[in-house]
Amino acid sequence: DARVRGWFLLDSYLPTFFLTGAYLLCIWLGNKIMKYRPPFSLRVHLILYNLGITLLSLYMLIELILATWEGGYNLQCQNLHSAGEADVRVAKVLWWYYFSKVIEFMDTIFFVLRKKSSQITFLHVYHHATMFNIWWCVLNWIPCGQSFFGPTLNSFIHVLIYSRMIFPPQIQFLLTIAHTLSAAVKPCGFPFGCLMFQSSYMATLVILFINFYIK
C-alpha cells in the first residue's frame, strides 16, 4: 500500500524475519544458559514493562476509537479507501500495533530469565512469533479499513491483562472471528482472502488454547 511506503521496518521483510529468528534463538540459547543458573527476580523490570505496555495499549485503543469515529467507519465491514485522512490515521496506529508485537517478545524473555519454563508453551511462542510477521503483511497490503477491529479489541484486552485484570483470551479470538465472518457475509470491498486468513488463524489460536486447558 503506497500510504505506508517508507515507514520504519515495512519496506523490506528481512528485518521482521531476522527479529523473529533472533527471538526464537534467544529462547533456545536462554534456556540453555539459565539451566544451571538461579532465576532472576526482575520485579522492578516487570512493573515498568507492564506499565509501558499498558500505556501503549491505552494510547492505541483511544486513537483507534477516535480515528474510526472521525472516518465514519462501519463496524460491520469497512473497505480500504473510503475515509481519507482517517484511514492514514488508523494505519499509523496499526504500525504501532505491529511494532508492539516485537516489544512483546519480552514476555517470553522474562519467562526465560525467571526460569518459568512451563509458561513457554508452543501456543505462547507460536502466537508471539506469528503475530509480528502477520502484521508486517497487514501493514503492507491492508493497513486500515476492516483491519482496525482486532487491534482495537486486543488493545482493550491488553490494558486489562497488563494492569493485572483478568480477561479470557479465547473471548477475544471468538469475537474477532465473528466480526470477520460478518464482513464476509455482507461484503464491503475488503479483500475476501484476508478475511478468511484471519478467521483461520484465529481458529488455530482457539484450538491451541482449548488443547492447552484440556492438558
Catalytic residues: 127
Grid cell 491488553 in the structure block, residue: 158
| Crossing angle (nearest 10°) for helices 192-214 and 169-185 | 150
Q: How many CB atoms lie within 10 A of CB 212?
A: 12
**Nearest Cα to Cα of residue 92 among 128, 64, 56, 61:** 64
Backbone angles phi, psi at 66, to 5 degrees: -65, -40
Q: Are 40 and 114 in contact (CB under 8 A)?
A: yes
Give me the count of residues in the chain.
215
CA max distance for the chain: 57
Q: Are 39 and 114 in contact (CB under 8 A)?
A: yes
**Nearest Cα to Cα of residue 189 among 74, 70, 67, 91:** 74
